[in-house]
Chain A
Protein backbone atom coordinates (compact mmCIF):
# COMPACT_ATOMS: atom_id res chain seq x y z
CA UNK A 1 0.00 0.00 0.00
CA UNK A 2 1.17 3.55 -0.71
CA UNK A 3 2.20 5.15 2.62
CA UNK A 4 1.18 8.70 3.47
CA UNK A 5 4.72 9.97 3.53
CA UNK A 6 7.89 8.91 1.73
CA UNK A 7 10.85 7.76 3.83
CA UNK A 8 12.83 11.00 3.45
CA UNK A 9 9.98 12.96 5.04
CA UNK A 10 11.11 11.78 8.49
CA UNK A 11 14.35 13.72 8.27
CA UNK A 12 12.65 16.78 6.83
CA UNK A 13 10.00 16.71 9.54
CA UNK A 14 12.50 16.38 12.35
CA UNK A 15 14.79 19.06 11.00
CA UNK A 16 11.84 21.44 10.71
CA UNK A 17 10.80 20.78 14.28
CA UNK A 18 14.32 21.32 15.59
CA UNK A 19 14.71 24.54 13.62
CA UNK A 20 11.38 25.85 14.88
CA UNK A 21 12.28 25.05 18.47
CA UNK A 22 15.71 26.64 18.30
CA UNK A 23 14.20 29.67 16.58
CA UNK A 24 11.78 30.21 19.43
CA UNK A 25 14.49 29.79 22.01
CA UNK A 26 17.00 31.92 20.14
CA UNK A 27 14.81 35.00 19.77
CA UNK A 28 14.98 36.31 23.35
CA UNK A 29 18.68 35.55 23.46
CA UNK A 30 19.15 37.53 20.27
CA UNK A 31 17.22 40.46 21.76
CA UNK A 32 19.42 40.41 24.87
CA UNK A 33 22.55 40.47 22.77
CA UNK A 34 21.10 43.14 20.51
CA UNK A 35 20.52 45.69 23.28
CA UNK A 36 24.14 45.24 24.29
CA UNK A 37 25.53 45.92 20.85
CA UNK A 38 27.46 49.17 20.42
CA UNK A 39 24.89 50.07 17.79
CA UNK A 40 22.16 50.34 20.40
CA UNK A 41 24.36 51.78 23.14
CA UNK A 42 25.78 54.17 20.51
CA UNK A 43 29.35 53.36 21.44
CA UNK A 44 32.29 54.09 19.13
CA UNK A 45 29.97 55.93 16.79
CA UNK A 46 31.42 59.31 15.80
CA UNK A 47 28.74 61.99 15.61
CA UNK A 48 28.87 64.76 13.00
CA UNK A 49 28.72 68.11 14.74
CA UNK A 50 27.57 71.38 13.16
CA UNK A 51 31.09 72.62 13.86
CA UNK A 52 33.94 70.29 13.01
CA UNK A 53 35.49 70.64 16.45
CA UNK A 54 38.65 68.62 16.94
CA UNK A 55 39.49 67.69 20.52
CA UNK A 56 42.90 66.35 19.49
CA UNK A 57 43.93 69.81 18.39
CA UNK A 58 42.48 71.73 21.31
CA UNK A 59 43.54 69.33 24.04
CA UNK A 60 46.85 68.00 22.79
CA UNK A 61 48.26 70.74 20.56
CA UNK A 62 46.86 73.70 22.46
CA UNK A 63 46.89 71.98 25.84
CA UNK A 64 43.56 73.48 26.83
CA UNK A 65 42.19 71.92 30.02
CA UNK A 66 38.79 70.21 29.78
CA UNK A 67 37.42 72.55 32.41
CA UNK A 68 38.24 75.63 30.39
CA UNK A 69 35.31 74.92 28.11
CA UNK A 70 33.30 72.48 30.20
CA UNK A 71 33.61 74.76 33.21
CA UNK A 72 30.16 73.83 34.53
CA UNK A 73 31.26 70.26 35.21
CA UNK A 74 32.66 71.11 38.62
CA UNK A 75 29.58 72.88 40.00
CA UNK A 76 26.69 71.54 38.01
CA UNK A 77 25.05 68.30 37.00
CA UNK A 78 25.78 69.10 33.38
CA UNK A 79 29.27 69.40 31.98
CA UNK A 80 27.54 71.54 29.39
CA UNK A 81 28.87 72.25 25.94
CA UNK A 82 30.28 75.76 26.35
CA UNK A 83 28.35 78.83 25.24
CA UNK A 84 29.47 80.40 21.99
CA UNK A 85 31.12 83.17 23.94
CA UNK A 86 33.74 80.71 25.18
CA UNK A 87 34.67 79.78 21.61
CA UNK A 88 34.86 83.41 20.71
CA UNK A 89 37.27 84.12 23.54
CA UNK A 90 39.99 82.74 21.32
CA UNK A 91 38.42 82.68 17.91
CA UNK A 92 37.77 86.36 17.85
CA UNK A 93 41.59 86.51 17.75
CA UNK A 94 42.67 83.37 15.90
CA UNK A 95 41.18 81.81 12.80
CA UNK A 96 38.69 84.67 12.64
CA UNK A 97 38.17 83.97 8.98
CA UNK A 98 38.32 80.16 9.01
CA UNK A 99 35.43 78.68 7.09
CA UNK A 100 35.16 75.84 9.61
CA UNK A 101 34.31 78.39 12.27
CA UNK A 102 31.59 80.11 10.25
CA UNK A 103 28.75 78.49 12.24
CA UNK A 104 30.31 79.70 15.48
CA UNK A 105 30.58 83.25 14.23
CA UNK A 106 27.04 83.01 12.87
CA UNK A 107 25.85 81.91 16.27
CA UNK A 108 27.75 84.72 17.93
CA UNK A 109 26.53 87.49 15.70
CA UNK A 110 22.94 86.27 15.19
CA UNK A 111 22.64 85.34 18.85
CA UNK A 112 21.45 81.91 17.75
CA UNK A 113 22.80 78.97 19.77
CA UNK A 114 24.71 76.19 18.02
CA UNK A 115 22.71 72.95 17.97
CA UNK A 116 25.32 70.39 18.99
CA UNK A 117 24.55 66.73 18.58
CA UNK A 118 24.38 65.00 21.92
CA UNK A 119 26.94 62.21 22.18
CA UNK A 120 26.33 60.82 25.67
CA UNK A 121 22.62 60.29 26.02
CA UNK A 122 21.15 59.14 29.31
CA UNK A 123 17.46 58.34 29.66
CA UNK A 124 15.39 61.22 31.00
CA UNK A 125 14.82 59.48 34.31
CA UNK A 126 18.50 59.20 35.16
CA UNK A 127 19.83 62.08 37.24
CA UNK A 128 23.55 62.04 36.65
CA UNK A 129 25.61 64.75 38.32
CA UNK A 130 29.04 65.67 36.95
CA UNK A 131 30.04 67.74 39.96
CA UNK A 132 29.44 64.83 42.33
CA UNK A 133 31.78 62.63 40.33
CA UNK A 134 34.53 65.20 39.73
CA UNK A 135 34.61 66.20 43.36
CA UNK A 136 35.08 62.57 44.36
CA UNK A 137 38.01 61.79 42.13
CA UNK A 138 36.38 60.27 39.07
CA UNK A 139 38.39 61.46 36.09
CA UNK A 140 36.83 62.48 32.81
CA UNK A 141 38.62 59.64 31.06
CA UNK A 142 36.91 57.02 33.19
CA UNK A 143 33.59 57.50 31.38
CA UNK A 144 34.48 59.53 28.30
CA UNK A 145 37.64 57.72 27.30
CA UNK A 146 40.58 59.33 25.55
CA UNK A 147 38.70 62.36 24.27
CA UNK A 148 42.07 63.90 23.58
CA UNK A 149 42.60 61.34 20.85
CA UNK A 150 39.22 61.77 19.21
CA UNK A 151 38.71 63.92 16.16
CA UNK A 152 35.00 63.44 16.28
CA UNK A 153 33.84 62.63 19.78
CA UNK A 154 32.20 59.27 20.26
CA UNK A 155 30.89 57.52 23.34
CA UNK A 156 33.20 54.90 24.81
CA UNK A 157 31.08 53.61 27.66
CA UNK A 158 27.76 51.79 27.07
CA UNK A 159 26.11 53.96 29.76
CA UNK A 160 23.93 51.04 30.76
CA UNK A 161 22.76 50.72 34.34
CA UNK A 162 24.88 47.67 34.97
CA UNK A 163 27.89 49.65 33.79
CA UNK A 164 27.10 52.48 36.23
CA UNK A 165 26.50 50.02 39.05
CA UNK A 166 29.79 48.24 38.53
CA UNK A 167 31.62 51.43 39.55
CA UNK A 168 29.15 52.55 42.21
CA UNK A 169 29.57 49.20 43.93
CA UNK A 170 33.35 49.17 43.65
CA UNK A 171 34.62 52.69 42.93
CA UNK A 172 38.17 52.52 44.19
CA UNK A 173 39.91 51.25 41.02
CA UNK A 174 38.48 54.24 39.16
CA UNK A 175 39.39 56.99 41.59
CA UNK A 176 42.28 59.43 41.33
CA UNK A 177 43.43 62.58 43.15
CA UNK A 178 41.04 65.43 42.40
CA UNK A 179 43.82 67.52 40.89
CA UNK A 180 44.32 64.85 38.21
CA UNK A 181 40.68 64.75 37.17
CA UNK A 182 41.21 66.14 33.70
CA UNK A 183 44.51 64.36 33.10
CA UNK A 184 43.93 61.96 30.24
CA UNK A 185 47.13 60.03 30.85
CA UNK A 186 47.26 59.88 34.62
CA UNK A 187 48.73 56.73 36.09
CA UNK A 188 49.05 55.86 39.76
CA UNK A 189 52.44 56.61 41.31
CA UNK A 190 54.94 53.82 40.55
CA UNK A 191 54.62 50.85 42.84
CA UNK A 192 50.95 51.48 43.60
CA UNK A 193 48.02 49.89 41.82
CA UNK A 194 44.96 51.83 40.76
CA UNK A 195 43.07 50.22 43.59
CA UNK A 196 45.59 51.30 46.19
CA UNK A 197 45.70 54.81 44.83
CA UNK A 198 41.92 54.82 44.69
CA UNK A 199 41.57 53.62 48.25
CA UNK A 200 43.66 56.53 49.46
CA UNK A 201 41.41 58.94 47.59
CA UNK A 202 38.31 57.20 48.87
CA UNK A 203 39.50 57.54 52.46
CA UNK A 204 40.40 61.18 52.03
CA UNK A 205 37.16 62.18 50.27
CA UNK A 206 34.84 59.75 52.09
CA UNK A 207 33.76 58.33 48.76
CA UNK A 208 30.58 56.33 49.28
CA UNK A 209 28.61 56.28 46.04
CA UNK A 210 24.86 55.70 46.30
CA UNK A 211 23.58 52.26 45.40
CA UNK A 212 20.03 53.06 46.46
CA UNK A 213 17.71 53.57 43.49
CA UNK A 214 16.94 57.21 44.28
CA UNK A 215 20.65 57.96 44.06
CA UNK A 216 19.99 58.30 40.33
CA UNK A 217 16.23 57.86 39.77
CA UNK A 218 13.91 60.44 41.30
Chain B
Protein backbone atom coordinates (compact mmCIF):
# COMPACT_ATOMS: atom_id res chain seq x y z
CA UNK B 1 0.00 0.00 0.00
CA UNK B 2 1.09 3.50 -0.67
CA UNK B 3 -0.65 5.38 2.09
CA UNK B 4 -3.10 4.90 4.92
CA UNK B 5 -3.11 3.68 8.47
CA UNK B 6 -0.78 1.01 9.83
CA UNK B 7 -1.09 -0.56 13.27
CA UNK B 8 1.21 -2.78 15.29
CA UNK B 9 -0.04 -5.85 17.17
CA UNK B 10 1.84 -7.85 19.77
CA UNK B 11 0.66 -11.35 18.83
CA UNK B 12 -0.60 -13.32 15.90
CA UNK B 13 -3.92 -13.85 17.54
CA UNK B 14 -4.53 -10.13 18.00
CA UNK B 15 -3.55 -9.53 14.40
CA UNK B 16 -5.85 -12.27 13.17
CA UNK B 17 -8.74 -10.88 15.17
CA UNK B 18 -8.13 -7.36 13.91
CA UNK B 19 -7.90 -8.60 10.36
CA UNK B 20 -11.11 -10.59 10.71
CA UNK B 21 -12.89 -7.61 12.21
CA UNK B 22 -11.74 -5.17 9.53
CA UNK B 23 -12.65 -7.62 6.81
CA UNK B 24 -16.05 -8.06 8.30
CA UNK B 25 -16.33 -4.29 8.41
CA UNK B 26 -15.97 -4.42 4.63
CA UNK B 27 -12.33 -3.44 4.22
CA UNK B 28 -10.85 -4.97 1.07
CA UNK B 29 -7.46 -3.30 0.79
CA UNK B 30 -5.85 -4.74 3.89
CA UNK B 31 -2.19 -5.55 4.14
CA UNK B 32 -0.30 -7.33 6.90
CA UNK B 33 3.39 -7.38 7.73
CA UNK B 34 4.40 -10.43 9.74
CA UNK B 35 7.59 -12.30 10.65
CA UNK B 36 6.04 -15.48 9.29
CA UNK B 37 2.95 -16.29 7.24
CA UNK B 38 -0.34 -16.02 9.06
CA UNK B 39 -2.77 -18.72 8.00
CA UNK B 40 -6.02 -16.89 8.48
CA UNK B 41 -4.79 -13.91 6.47
CA UNK B 42 -3.43 -15.95 3.57
CA UNK B 43 -6.64 -18.00 3.45
CA UNK B 44 -8.62 -14.87 2.61
CA UNK B 45 -6.38 -13.92 -0.31
CA UNK B 46 -6.84 -15.02 -3.95
CA UNK B 47 -4.46 -17.72 -5.33
CA UNK B 48 -1.11 -16.75 -6.82
CA UNK B 49 -0.45 -17.00 -10.56
CA UNK B 50 3.21 -17.96 -10.15
CA UNK B 51 2.77 -21.74 -10.61
CA UNK B 52 1.05 -21.30 -13.98
CA UNK B 53 3.78 -18.99 -15.18
CA UNK B 54 6.37 -21.52 -14.08
CA UNK B 55 4.54 -24.27 -15.96
CA UNK B 56 4.58 -22.23 -19.14
CA UNK B 57 8.28 -21.51 -18.67
CA UNK B 58 8.99 -25.21 -18.21
CA UNK B 59 7.21 -26.11 -21.44
CA UNK B 60 8.96 -23.41 -23.43
CA UNK B 61 12.36 -24.16 -21.89
CA UNK B 62 12.07 -27.89 -22.49
CA UNK B 63 10.92 -27.42 -26.04
CA UNK B 64 13.79 -25.04 -26.76
CA UNK B 65 16.23 -27.52 -25.22
CA UNK B 66 15.07 -30.29 -27.52
CA UNK B 67 14.97 -28.12 -30.60
CA UNK B 68 18.52 -26.86 -30.06
CA UNK B 69 19.83 -30.42 -29.84
CA UNK B 70 17.91 -31.50 -32.90
CA UNK B 71 19.09 -28.47 -34.85
CA UNK B 72 22.73 -28.96 -33.87
CA UNK B 73 23.02 -32.67 -34.53
CA UNK B 74 20.44 -33.36 -37.20
CA UNK B 75 20.07 -30.17 -39.23
CA UNK B 76 22.90 -27.67 -39.06
CA UNK B 77 25.84 -30.11 -39.27
CA UNK B 78 24.56 -33.60 -40.04
CA UNK B 79 27.47 -35.93 -39.45
CA UNK B 80 27.77 -39.68 -39.01
CA UNK B 81 28.64 -40.34 -35.39
CA UNK B 82 29.29 -43.98 -34.59
CA UNK B 83 26.64 -45.04 -37.08
CA UNK B 84 23.92 -43.57 -34.86
CA UNK B 85 20.91 -41.82 -36.39
CA UNK B 86 21.26 -38.08 -36.77
CA UNK B 87 18.10 -37.47 -34.79
CA UNK B 88 18.77 -39.62 -31.73
CA UNK B 89 15.69 -38.72 -29.76
CA UNK B 90 16.41 -40.82 -26.65
CA UNK B 91 19.76 -39.14 -26.23
CA UNK B 92 18.13 -35.71 -26.31
CA UNK B 93 15.79 -36.33 -23.38
CA UNK B 94 18.06 -35.56 -20.40
CA UNK B 95 18.91 -32.08 -21.61
CA UNK B 96 15.29 -31.45 -22.53
CA UNK B 97 14.28 -32.18 -18.96
CA UNK B 98 17.08 -30.17 -17.39
CA UNK B 99 16.40 -27.12 -19.51
CA UNK B 100 12.72 -27.30 -18.58
CA UNK B 101 13.61 -27.28 -14.89
CA UNK B 102 16.14 -24.51 -15.33
CA UNK B 103 13.76 -22.28 -17.25
CA UNK B 104 10.84 -22.70 -14.90
CA UNK B 105 12.83 -22.17 -11.71
CA UNK B 106 14.59 -19.08 -13.04
CA UNK B 107 11.33 -17.61 -14.25
CA UNK B 108 9.61 -18.61 -11.03
CA UNK B 109 12.15 -16.87 -8.86
CA UNK B 110 12.16 -13.63 -10.76
CA UNK B 111 8.42 -13.57 -11.15
CA UNK B 112 8.21 -13.97 -7.38
CA UNK B 113 10.44 -10.96 -6.92
CA UNK B 114 8.38 -9.02 -9.43
CA UNK B 115 5.07 -9.83 -7.79
CA UNK B 116 6.50 -8.87 -4.42
CA UNK B 117 7.67 -5.55 -5.80
CA UNK B 118 11.25 -6.56 -5.16
CA UNK B 119 14.08 -5.86 -5.34
CA UNK B 120 13.70 -2.60 -3.56
CA UNK B 121 15.63 -0.94 -0.75
CA UNK B 122 13.21 1.72 0.38
CA UNK B 123 9.54 1.44 1.22
CA UNK B 124 7.23 3.86 3.03
CA UNK B 125 6.62 1.37 5.82
CA UNK B 126 10.33 1.34 6.59
CA UNK B 127 9.98 4.90 7.77
CA UNK B 128 7.53 3.92 10.51
CA UNK B 129 9.10 3.87 13.95
CA UNK B 130 9.14 0.37 15.43
CA UNK B 131 8.42 -1.27 12.09
CA UNK B 132 11.80 -3.04 12.27
CA UNK B 133 10.17 -5.45 14.73
CA UNK B 134 7.79 -6.57 11.97
CA UNK B 135 10.36 -9.13 10.82
CA UNK B 136 10.98 -10.30 14.38
CA UNK B 137 8.06 -10.56 16.73
CA UNK B 138 5.53 -7.86 15.93
CA UNK B 139 2.56 -8.08 13.60
CA UNK B 140 1.47 -5.09 11.56
CA UNK B 141 -1.68 -4.45 9.67
CA UNK B 142 -2.34 -1.67 7.20
CA UNK B 143 -5.53 -0.12 5.87
CA UNK B 144 -5.16 1.63 2.54
CA UNK B 145 -6.84 5.00 2.42
CA UNK B 146 -7.97 4.28 -1.13
CA UNK B 147 -10.12 1.55 0.37
CA UNK B 148 -13.78 2.39 -0.31
CA UNK B 149 -14.62 1.42 3.26
CA UNK B 150 -11.88 3.66 4.60
CA UNK B 151 -12.74 6.05 7.35
CA UNK B 152 -10.32 8.07 9.42
CA UNK B 153 -11.72 6.53 12.61
CA UNK B 154 -10.15 3.28 11.65
CA UNK B 155 -7.16 4.11 13.80
CA UNK B 156 -9.32 4.29 16.88
CA UNK B 157 -10.94 1.01 15.93
CA UNK B 158 -7.51 -0.55 15.62
CA UNK B 159 -6.50 0.80 18.99
CA UNK B 160 -9.55 -0.79 20.49
CA UNK B 161 -8.58 -4.07 18.92
CA UNK B 162 -5.37 -3.88 20.91
CA UNK B 163 -2.99 -2.19 18.52
CA UNK B 164 0.14 -1.11 20.33
CA UNK B 165 0.36 1.89 18.10
CA UNK B 166 -1.14 3.34 14.96
CA UNK B 167 0.77 5.36 12.37
CA UNK B 168 -0.35 7.19 9.30
CA UNK B 169 1.53 6.92 6.10
CA UNK B 170 1.03 10.14 4.22
CA UNK B 171 0.55 10.07 0.48
CA UNK B 172 3.64 11.26 -1.33
CA UNK B 173 3.16 13.99 -3.95
Question: Which residue numbers of A lie inside 8 Å of B, CB to CB?
Answer: 1-10, 13-14, 17
Contacts and interface: CB of A to CB of B under 8 A. Distances in A.
A10 B120 contact: yes
B121 A5 contact: yes
Nearest to A1: B129
14 contacts: A1-B130, A1-B132, A3-B123, A3-B126, A3-B127, A4-B121, A5-B126, A7-B122, A9-B121, A10-B120, A10-B121, A13-B120, A14-B119, A17-B119
Contact of B122 (A1, A5, A17): A5
B128 interface: yes
Contacts, number: 31
Contacts of A1: 127-132
Contacts of B131: 1
A4 B128 CA distance: 12
A141 to B, nearest CB: 28
Contacts of A5: 121-122, 126
Nearest to A7: B122
Contacts of A6: 122
Interface size grouping (class) on chain B: 10 to 19
Given A3-B123, A17-B119, 15 more contacts: A1-B129, A1-B130, A1-B131, A1-B132, A3-B126, A3-B127, A4-B122, A5-B122, A7-B122, A9-B121, A9-B122, A10-B121, A13-B119, A13-B121, A14-B120
Closest 10 CB pairs of A and B: A5-B121, A3-B126, A1-B129, A9-B121, A10-B120, A5-B122, A7-B122, A3-B127, A13-B121, A10-B122
Nearest to A211: B79
A126 to B, nearest CB: 17
Interface in B126-155: 126-132
A5 B120 CA distance: 10
A13 B113 CA distance: 14
A2 B120 CA distance: 16
Interface centre among A5, A6, A7, A13 (most CB of B within 10 A): A7
B127 to A, nearest CB: 5
Interface centre among B119, B122, B126, B130 (most CB of A within 10 A): B122
A22 to B, nearest CB: 14
A1 B126 CA distance: 8
